[in-house]
Amino acid sequence: MYRKIKGTEDIYGEEIKYWYFIENTAREVSRIYGYEEIRTPIFERTELFVRSVGEETDIVQKEMYTFEDKGGRSLTLRPEGTAPTIRAFVENSMIASGLPRRLFYIGPMFRYERPQSGRQRQFHQFGIELLGSSSPLGDAEAIMLADNFLRKLGLVDYKIVINSIGCEKCRPKYKEALKEYYSNILDKVCDDCKRRYETNILRLLDCKVDSSYAENAPKMKDYLCTECKSHYEETKKLLETLEVAYEENFNLVRGLDYYNGIVFEIHHSRLGAQSAIGGGGRYDKLIEEIGGPKTPSLGFAMGIERLIIALKKENVPVEEWRNNEVFIAHLGHEAKIEAIKIAEELRKNEISVVFNTMERGLSAQLKHAARLKCKLCIIVGENELERDVVILRNLETGDQVEIERTFIVGTAKEWLQD
């Protein structure tokens, strides 16, 4: 027997309704905010991710699914959705049709991590990118969209956390201050942080192991330049005006290199150690970095697997996938042909019908109908057909009537609505 690869999941049965619910809600909220869908390939040139996500990040260092194809090219299964979206934006000259461009995506991403609850090696994200806005209005729009999406899902136990990590003008001074602070305690921090001290000093702030040292570290807010400070303050003011609840966390830095200015994360209070259900921020230099024109931009992504855990923890009722409404059982050869005609008539009326395609007796057919959780069963028998009637049975209540052939669709519709 073949088994699925570690860190992957088969999604089926009762789980599917959660996926439909989240995907449909994501599309609907995106539509309301004027975002259009983009579907990029699952794999790209490795170089794209190294360049954009950053050489020194955990993703590029140890988490990418990289392989060589038969043509000798180094390809990588996308570990995140922003770099491919930007690549498509530049390659297809989308800038020509005017800025800003609002895009969203839904799909699988791949990272080689230790699998745990809500963290698979193939995982799925819904994300948006607002390309070409340098205004705090853009930051506020993205955060509002995220908030509205979560509300529409019915979630309440989450909080939005924001920070500013400054720009290329003000961040270097801050990094110096951090280096000085950590230089005295470098022997106490974890091995990852010892390495990051040289390569990515900001990441020491969100290390789970060394959080006690981060608490007393210098804060970016005290180093922001005038532009960064006013951008940050104006965004906060907009959120307050629009009554979007948020908290500030001055140690929030995000794991990817391309961010600048405002970054944010959304945490769910009942998800334990892996509490982030989404995050994003501004990446004003990224498009230039991968060869496009200067286009200040921002975006966020949410993890669908974690959203599903959150929905379950909060007991949010999710609409059942409405299938298998009516089962059609039949007895005898003549009845078989009449039964399949009735099935098609009901289907033309948008009713989900399961037809008996096995050579089975009546009791086996009814047993199957019950297993499929059909609400109604129509029994087409040869004796009844001679009188131009069929039997309609409610499988939930056991009620049963004989109805004339011509009234089947109308009566079935009525009974389904009860």
Minimum distance of Zn ion from residue 297's CB (angstroms): 17
Residue 123 or 223: which CB sits closer to Zn ion? 223
CA dihedral for 382, 385, 389, 392, sign (positive or negative): positive
As a whole number of angstroms, the distance between CA 414 and CA 319 comes to: 20
- How many angstroms from the chain centroid is the CA of residue 81? 11
Residue from 138, 166, 281, 381 in contact with Zn ion (CB under 5 A): 166
Residue from 162, 193, 239, 343 in contact with Zn ion (CB under 5 A): 193
Residue 167 in the binding site for Zn ion (CB under 5 A): yes
Residue 23 or 289: which CB sits closer to Zn ion? 289
* DSSP code of residue 372: T
Query: Interior CA angle at 34 toward 31 and 39, to 5°?
Result: 70
Stretch that binds Zn ion, among 35-43, 73-81, 208-216, 325-333 (CB under 5 A): 208-216
Residue 186 in the binding site for Zn ion (CB under 5 A): no
Do 109 and 80 form a contact (C-beta atoms < 8 A)? yes
Alpha helices in 99-207 (DSSP H): 136-153, 171-183, 191-199
Residue 309 in the binding site for Zn ion (CB under 5 A): no
Residue 385 in the binding site for Zn ion (CB under 5 A): no
Residue 262 in the binding site for Zn ion (CB under 5 A): no
Minimum distance of Zn ion from residue 166's CB (angstroms): 5
Residue 207 in the binding site for Zn ion (CB under 5 A): yes
Residue 228 in the binding site for Zn ion (CB under 5 A): yes
Residue 119: is it exposed, middle or buried by C-beta count within 10 angstroms (0-12/13-18/19+)?
middle
Residue 225 in the binding site for Zn ion (CB under 5 A): yes
Do 126 and 318 form a contact (C-beta atoms < 8 A)? no
Stretch that binds Zn ion, among 9-17, 91-99, 220-228, 406-414 (CB under 5 A): 220-228
Residue 233 or 344: which CB sits closer to Zn ion? 233
Residue 210 in the binding site for Zn ion (CB under 5 A): yes
Q: What is the CA radius of gyration of the chain?
A: 28
Residue 401 in the binding site for Zn ion (CB under 5 A): no
Residue linked to tokens 């005898």: 332
Minimum distance of Zn ion from residue 209's CB (angstroms): 4
Do 76 and 65 form a contact (C-beta atoms < 8 A)? yes
As a whole number of angstroms, the distance between CA 56 and CA 185 comes to: 22
The residues that touch Zn ion, with contacts defined as CB under 5 A, are 166-167, 169-170, 189-190, 193, 207, 209-210, 225, 228
